[in-house]
Chain A
Amino acid sequence: EMILEAAKSIAAATSALVKAASAAQRELI
């Protein structure tokens, strides 16, 4: 289903964003 594929893309993009945002903080801990 197209909606599942679209949700997968959002999940992947959000995951990449959150990883990038976490990286700097992780250095500090």
Chain B
Amino acid sequence: MPVFHTKTIESILDPVAQQVSKLVILHEEAEDGLPMPDLQQPVRSVSNAVLNLVKVGRETINSSDDQILKQDMPGALVRVERSSKLLEEASRMLKDDPYSSPARKRLIDGSGGILQATSALLLCFDESEVRKIIRECHRVLDYLAVAEVIETLDELVQFLRDLSPCLSRVSREVSAREKELTHQVHAEILVRCLEQIKTLAPILICSMKIYIHIVSQGGKGAEEAAENRNYLAMRMTDEINEIIRVLQLTSYDEETSE
């Protein structure tokens, strides 16, 4: 059985994956047994659903500015269409011969192919959504990188104006993503990183204020204050980088690495 790494994909595909597995087992146990029923109507329903998915998929490709999605999604759509054609062939063949063994094979290959290709398509879409979150994470990293050149309170105010909305978006989106993951360990890492960031952010701002204050008062202890500020910025950078790493993991990656 395939492993789906988000709850949304799992809820869509897990029931059909179980049905396809059962069909394969039944086919192996009862090959050339009873005649197949007329499957024209249910195959037509699948074909119509595939036509709609291909239409929606093409619209998604055309409207997206994600080059990886534009590159990966068409292949998945072609595979869905090809599997649908196998089902149509199976249906025609079974109408002529309800015992046809090649038709049964096409039925299994077609339904399994639809499952795999739809899974690939949803994964492609999901990865594109993840890349949007990662883009936000990179914005936060860019702001953190300038923390050490902030020298005045006015600059600090502007720094906060830039960083705060970005950090809020990352927090909101990563929190939602964490709830979506089926992989508990990955979800827990994201929660832990978010908690760290929420703790570190106000301390970083405080350390920047202290640095600015010390510099404005003549500079004694400025070096230590700068070190402390840089350390906190680095800690936050590490947490964001860990979020980026975990966001890109799927359960499949983990199994492969194991």
Give the interface of A toward B (CB within 8 A): 1-29
* Other-chain residue from B37, B43, B121 in contact with A7 (beta carbon distance below 8 A): B121
Q: Once bound together, how far apart are the Cα atoms of A29 and B25, in whole Å? A: 11
Interface residues of B, CB < 8 Å — how many? Answer: 42
Task: Tell me, rounded to whole Å, the shortest Cβ–Cβ distance linking A13 to chain B.
Answer: 4
Main secondary structure, interface of A, reads helix
| Chain B residues with CB under 8 A of A28 | 30, 33-34
Give the interface of B toward A (CB within 8 A): 8, 12-13, 15-16, 19-20, 22-23, 26-27, 29-30, 33-37, 39, 42-43, 45-46, 48-50, 52-53, 56-57, 59-60, 80, 87, 107, 111, 114-115, 118, 121-122, 125
In the complex the two chains form, is B37's CB within 8 Å of A15's CB?
no
In the complex the two chains form, is B16's CB within 8 Å of A6's CB?
no
In the complex the two chains form, is A10's CB within 8 Å of B53's CB?
yes
In the complex the two chains form, is A10's CB within 8 Å of B114's CB?
yes
In the complex the two chains form, is A25's CB within 8 Å of B34's CB?
yes
Are A4 and B49 CB-contacts (below 8 A) given A10-B80, A21-B107, A29-B30? no
Q: Once bound together, how far apart are the Cα atoms of A24 and B15, in whole Å? A: 20
Q: Once bound together, how far apart are the Cα atoms of A14 and B53, in whole Å? A: 13
| Chain B residue nearest in CB terms to A16 | B42
